[in-house]
Amino acid sequence: MKMIAMDGSNISFFKEGLRLDGRRADEFRPLKIEVGVLARADGSCYVEMGGNKVIAAVYGPREVHPRHLQEATRAIVRYRYNMASFSVEERKRPGPDRRSYELSKVSREALEPVIFTSYYPRSVIDVFVEVLQADAGTRTAGINAASVALADAGIPMKSMISACAAGKVADTIVLDPMKEEDNFGQADMPIAMTPTGQITLLQMDGHLTKDEFQRAMELAIKGCRDIYEIQRKSLIEKYNQLGSELAVVQEAEVL
C-alpha cells in the first residue's frame, strides 16, 4: 500500500494492490453504451463510464450556417462539448468556458480523421456532447459516445474511434483514472485511436518520465482496443434488433 500526501490530506490510492474502487491498475471502469437514445437527432449514443454520464447527438450532413463557413470540397465537422450545470460538485455556470473550447477542439480533431468529409461538400456534420454527470474522463467518454453516434447517424467513416486515458498515481501507471486519482494523481494522459492503432488524440498533463510515458501509452492503447469491442457490440446489437442498416457498421469496419 502506497501513500501520497498532497494539500494536507493523505490519500491511499491502493489497498492490497487494488484501487479505491476495487479495480486493478489496468482495468477501466464499468462501461455501458446505448445506441439511438434520442428521437430528434440523426444519430445518438448514451455512455456511462464509472460515474460519467454523457450523451452524444449527431446532426447532418446538413446545410452550413453562416454560409461563409462552407468548404467547397468537403463537409466541415463541428463538435460541441458541454457540461450540464449540475454535472459537477460545484454548480457550473451554463455556457462554454476555456476548458470546453479546448476539449471541443481536440475531440473534433480526434474524430475528423476517420470521417469521409469529402462525400459532403458544403455541408456540416454537427456533433453535440452533453456531460450530464462528470467523474474524470468526460472527454474520452464523450468521444466514445460521439463515435458511436456518428455511426448511428449513418455518417461514412473509415473506422470507429475509441478513447481512454492512462494516468499515474502513487508512481503507478493506471488505466482510466477516476476523480480522486485525477485530482490528486501525478499525471493524466487521454488518447483516442482507430482500431488499427492510429492515434487521433493525445494530451498529457502532469509528470512522466519517458519510460513511464511509454508504459502509459501501451496501457491506454490496450484500453482503447477493449472499448472498441464494446462500441462495436453495442452497434451490432442495435442493428440486429432492427434487423437492418447493419451495412453501415460493416462498411465502417472494412474501411
Which residue has 446532426 as its cell numbers? 59
Helix (H) or strand (E) holding 55, with range, is: strand 52-63
**Residue 217 touches which of other proteins, its own copies, none (Cβ within 5-8 Å per kind):** other proteins
Closest alpha carbon to 77 in 216, 168, 200: 200
CA 87 – CA 30 distance, rounded (Å): 19
67 binds other proteins (CB under 8 A): no
93 binds its own copies (CB under 8 A): no
**Residue 204 touches which of other proteins, its own copies, none (Cβ within 5-8 Å per kind):** other proteins
Any idea how long the chain is?
255
**Joined grid coordinates for residue 119:** 462525400
In whole angstroms, the minimum distance from the beta carbon of 94 to other proteins comes to: 6
Closer to other proteins by Cβ: residue 108 or 232:
108
Residues between 186 and 215 with contacts to other proteins, criterion CB under 8 A: 189, 194, 197-210, 213-214
Residues 6+ apart with CB under 8 A from 191: 163, 164, 165, 166, 199, 201, 202, 203, 217, 220, 221, 224
Q: Under DSSP, is residue 159 helix (H, G, I), strand (E, B) or coil?
A: coil
In whole angstroms, the minimum distance from the beta carbon of 19 to other proteins comes to: 19
Residues contributing to the site for other proteins (CB under 8 A): 7, 38-41, 44, 51, 53, 55-57, 59, 62, 80, 82, 84-91, 94-96, 98-99, 101-102, 104-106, 109, 112-113, 126, 128-130, 132-134, 189, 194, 197-210, 213-214, 217, 221
Q: Which positions touch its own copies (CB under 8 A)? A: 65-66, 68
